[in-house]
């Protein structure tokens, strides 16, 4: 097999330029533009340097990036896996909590806990399933606060509206609370700020408004506070007599180092309601970390101010928005800065010395227990996620030792596919594999293994499809709908009755390049679809928010009266990233 480092160079280059070079033209690469060569040089060197971003966690687990270096320092990003978008930090005494967007998966709104802002663990989720099983829903920027002795989350779900829930403990259980805010429209990131005198204010987008003591209704007029372009997720603190308003501008998915690209800015005022002066640039992209956006500021355990936000790590681009932690430094004029104005920082001293983490995300699952981890056992939302967890969608009891997924409509051809189970990726360079036995009942039923960016539905998948005979297929969605790009008849003798199909499946991910393979004995593997040096290239597309999630699916392209099912023996992941602390 060709050197994996060159494959990574070509993976990134192809993704950004959105082209594939046939093998016969590969030697003509030098004829392409200087821009292409620049991308080869910069992103290629970065990709070869992927060794510089991962280090050993628990030796018995999959190799992953662990932020805590074990020597009193940490290396960004702080989370070992992806899709912790729009982080909202909350401090309660010596404990820190973080809530992030569920985007398009359930359980919804995981709650993270930390004592040092570096080592985080999932302690629960607000909801197990989407409310009312709405067919097309998204959840962005929930904001967590602590009011009147209770934890509160305010959030907005498309097609369902603005909601408030409370819990006595961040682990839950959470209960709906009736609010009286009226129609809030789409107010991503609406949060509550408590002033020194106990007065409560709602901040959202570009405005501030006084709240009643229970923070469930307004008690004043809405006042415009700041001005900017595509403002999202404000965070308000008070320091040395100033109110500092932090917020991202220019969108959450814009790459480049120019002022019109994603960045985080700060405004300030002597009065909580303004007027605010600014914006003052706080964080702009650098070559390694792009599109800084949507975060919150909190007073750390070291009594210094820290900001947690999102960025795209160009070494691990398909993990999309990752959670980043930077220290705020203050100049003589009272304005904060990050990393001396050089964009997101890479390495810092930890706020306080703590023990190294005990949670190491492990995507492997042998399905040898009667309950599904992160759904019906363990901590809700800590492992497996569903696109939509519908009644009867899965079972670990009907075929002990196997996960059974029922075929449901719609299939992966649609954004709202009914039976897709996935996990947060811990790498951009990995392989996933499974052993599948497929039992269709009618035509138009399919099942297999998948890697999918949930917001755009960009997809690579391999599986069995019964239409009108059982065949192995590879599907790909590059932004223009799911298309069958390869097929093979594995079962030469198709019986008169509906057949059963058994096969081993694997997808290798190299950044934005995928390679699909199958085996009949789990020993000899055969590639299906474009392979080296062409590959399946997943081009860059605006809207890559949620990371490319690896998982399993079982669906129907046409709704049928008799559902089939797919049995999966295991789900394995092997991480290709090399290890280093630098």
The pLDDT assigned to 72 comes to 95
Has residue 194 got a pLDDT over 70?
A: yes
Question: Which helix (H) or strand (E) covers residue 34, if one does?
Answer: helix 34-48
| Helix axes of 34-48 and 4-17: crossing angle, nearest 10 degrees | 140
Lowest-confidence region among 366-375, 429-438, 485-494: 485-494
499 CB neighbour count, 10 Å cutoff: 17
Q: What is the pTM of this model?
A: 0.89
The pLDDT assigned to 496 comes to 62
Q: How high does pLDDT run on average in the chain?
A: 85
Q: What is the mean pLDDT of residues 174-192?
A: 85
DSSP 340: G
Higher pLDDT residue, 558 or 23?
558
Q: What is the mean pLDDT of residues 128-143?
A: 77
Has residue 445 got a pLDDT over 60?
A: yes
The pLDDT assigned to 54 comes to 43
The answer to whether 579 and 479 have CB atoms below 8 angstroms apart is no
pLDDT band at 495 (very low <50, low <70, confident <90, very high): low
Has residue 563 got a pLDDT over 90?
A: yes
pLDDT band at 406 (very low <50, low <70, confident <90, very high): very high
HEC secondary structure over 61-89 = CCCECCCECCCCEEECCCCCCCCCEEEEE
The pLDDT assigned to 554 comes to 98
Has residue 44 got a pLDDT over 50?
A: no
- The fraction of the chain above a pLDDT of 70, given in percent, is 83
pLDDT digits (tens, 9 = 90+) for 286-334: 999 999 998 899 999 999 999 999 999 988 888 889 999 999 999 999 9
The pLDDT assigned to 6 comes to 44
Cα–Cα distance measured from residue 11 to residue 40, given in angstroms and rounded to the nearest whole number: 10
Phi and psi at 97, nearest 5°, equal -125, 150
The answer to whether 490 and 472 have CB atoms below 8 angstroms apart is yes
Has residue 39 got a pLDDT over 90?
A: no
The pLDDT assigned to 278 comes to 93
pLDDT band at 35 (very low <50, low <70, confident <90, very high): very low
HEC secondary structure over 382-401 = CCCEECCCCCCCEECCCCCC
Quote the distance between the C-alpha of residue 243 and its chain's center.
31
The answer to whether 15 and 58 have CB atoms below 8 angstroms apart is no
pLDDT digits (tens, 9 = 90+) for 138-177: 788 899 999 999 999 998 877 778 899 999 999 999 999 9
Lowest-confidence region among 12-21, 139-148, 368-377: 12-21
Domain covering 1-53+363-582 in this structure, CATH number: 2.60.120.200
Q: Where are the domains of the chain?
A: 1-53+363-582, 73-349
Q: ∠114-117-121 over CA atoms, to 5°?
A: 35
Cα–Cα distance measured from residue 108 to residue 163, given in angstroms and rounded to the nearest whole number: 13
Has residue 136 got a pLDDT over 50?
A: yes
Q: Which residues contact 379 (CB under 8 A, 6 or more apart)?
A: 122, 123, 124
Lowest-confidence region among 113-127, 177-191, 446-460: 177-191
Higher pLDDT residue, 24 or 374?
374
pLDDT digits (tens, 9 = 90+) for 337-372: 999 999 999 999 999 998 877 788 888 999 999 999
The answer to whether 475 and 482 have CB atoms below 8 angstroms apart is yes
CA distances from 487 to 426, 468, 484, 524 (A): 30, 13, 8, 18
Q: What is the mean pLDDT of residues 540-552?
A: 81
CATH class of 73-349: mainly beta
The answer to whether 510 and 5 have CB atoms below 8 angstroms apart is no
pLDDT digits (tens, 9 = 90+) for 246-292: 999 987 777 777 777 889 999 999 999 999 999 999 999 999 999 99
The answer to whether 79 and 120 have CB atoms below 8 angstroms apart is yes
Higher pLDDT residue, 234 or 355?
234
The size of the chain, in residues, is: 582
CA dihedral defined by 143, 144, 149, 150, rounded to 10 degrees? 90
Task: Look at the alpha carbons of 268, 269, 271, 276 in this order and tell me if their dihedral is positive or negative.
Answer: negative
Lowest-confidence region among 180-189, 383-392, 453-462, 528-537: 528-537
Q: Which long-range contacts (CB under 8 A, 24 or more apart) does 131-137 make?
A: 131/157, 131/160, 132/160, 133/388, 133/390, 134/159, 134/160, 135/416, 136/415, 136/416, 137/104
Has residue 581 got a pLDDT over 50?
A: no
CA distances from 241 to 197, 269, 270, 299, 305 (A): 13, 9, 6, 16, 15
452 CB neighbour count, 10 Å cutoff: 25
Has residue 336 got a pLDDT over 90?
A: yes
């Amino acid at each position: 097999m060709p050197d994996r480092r060159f494959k990574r160079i070509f993976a990134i280059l192809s993704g950004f330029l959105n082209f594939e070079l046939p093998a016969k033209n590969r030697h003509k690469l030098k004829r392409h533009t200087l821009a292409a060569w620049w991308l080869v040089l910069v992103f290629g060197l970065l990709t070869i340097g992927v060794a510089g971003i991962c280090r050993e966690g628990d030796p018995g687990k999959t190799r992953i990036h662990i932020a805590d270096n074990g020597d009193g320092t940490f290396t960004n990003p702080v989370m070992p896996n992806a899709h912790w978008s729009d982080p909202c930090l909350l401090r309660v005494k010596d404990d820190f909590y973080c809530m992030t967007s569920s985007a398009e998966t359930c359980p919804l709104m995981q709650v993270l806990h930390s004592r040092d802002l570096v080592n985080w663990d999932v302690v629960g989720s607000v909801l197990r399933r989407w409310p009312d099983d709405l067919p097309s829903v998204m959840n962005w920027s929930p904001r967590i606060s602590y009011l009147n002795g209770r934890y509160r989350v305010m959030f907005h779900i498309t097609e369902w509206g603005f909601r408030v829930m409370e819990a006595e403990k961040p682990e839950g259980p959470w209960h709906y609370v009736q609010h009286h805010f009226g129609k809030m429209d789409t107010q991503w990131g609406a949060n509550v700020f408590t002033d020194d005198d106990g007065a409560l204010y709602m901040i959202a987008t570009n405005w501030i408004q006084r709240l009643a003591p229970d923070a469930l209704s307004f008690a004043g007029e809405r006042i415009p506070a700041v001005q900017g372009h595509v403002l999202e997720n404000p965070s308000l603190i008070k320091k040395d007599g100033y109110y500092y308003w932090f917020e991202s501008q220019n969108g959450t998915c814009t790459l480049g180092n120019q002022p019109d690209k994603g960045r985080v800015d700060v405004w300030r005022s002597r009065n909580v309601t303004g007027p605010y002066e600014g914006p003052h640039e706080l964080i702009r992209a650098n070559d390694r970390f792009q599109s800084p956006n949507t975060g919150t500021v909190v007073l750390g355990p070291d009594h210094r101010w820290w900001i947690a936000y999102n960025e795209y790590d160009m070494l691990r681009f398909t993990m999309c928005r990752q959670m980043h932690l930077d220290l705020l430094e203050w100049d003589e004029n009272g304005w904060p800065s990050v990393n001396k104005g050089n964009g997101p920082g890479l390495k810092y001293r930890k706020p306080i010395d703590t023990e190294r983490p005990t949670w190491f995300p492990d995507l492997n699952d042998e399905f040898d227990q009667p309950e599904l981890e992160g759904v019906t056992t363990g901590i809700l939302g800590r492992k497996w996620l569903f696109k939509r967890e519908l009644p009867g969608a899965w079972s670990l009891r009907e075929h002990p030792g196997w996960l059974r997924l029922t075929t449901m409509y719609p299939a992966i051809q649609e954004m709202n596919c009914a039976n897709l189970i996935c996990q947060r990726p811990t790498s951009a360079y990995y392989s996933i594999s499974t052993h599948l036995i497929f039992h269709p009942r009618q035509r138009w039923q399919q099942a297999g293994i998948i890697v999918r960016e949930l917001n755009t539905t960009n997809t690579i998948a391999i599986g069995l499809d019964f239409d009108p005979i059982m065949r192995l297929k590879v599907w790909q969605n590059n932004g223009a709908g799911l298309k069958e790009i390869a097929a093979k008849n594995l079962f030469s003798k198709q019986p008169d009755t509906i057949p059963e199909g058994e096969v081993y499946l694997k997808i290798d991910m190299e950044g934005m390049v995928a390679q699909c393979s199958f085996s009949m004995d789990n020993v000899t593997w055969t590639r299906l679809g474009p392979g080296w040096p062409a590959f399946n290239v997943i081009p860059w597309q605006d809207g890559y928010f949620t990371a490319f999630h690896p998982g399993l699916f079982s669906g129907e392209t046409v709704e049928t009266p008799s559902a089939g099912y797919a049995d999966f023996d295991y789900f394995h992941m092997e991480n290709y990233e090399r290890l280093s602390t630098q």
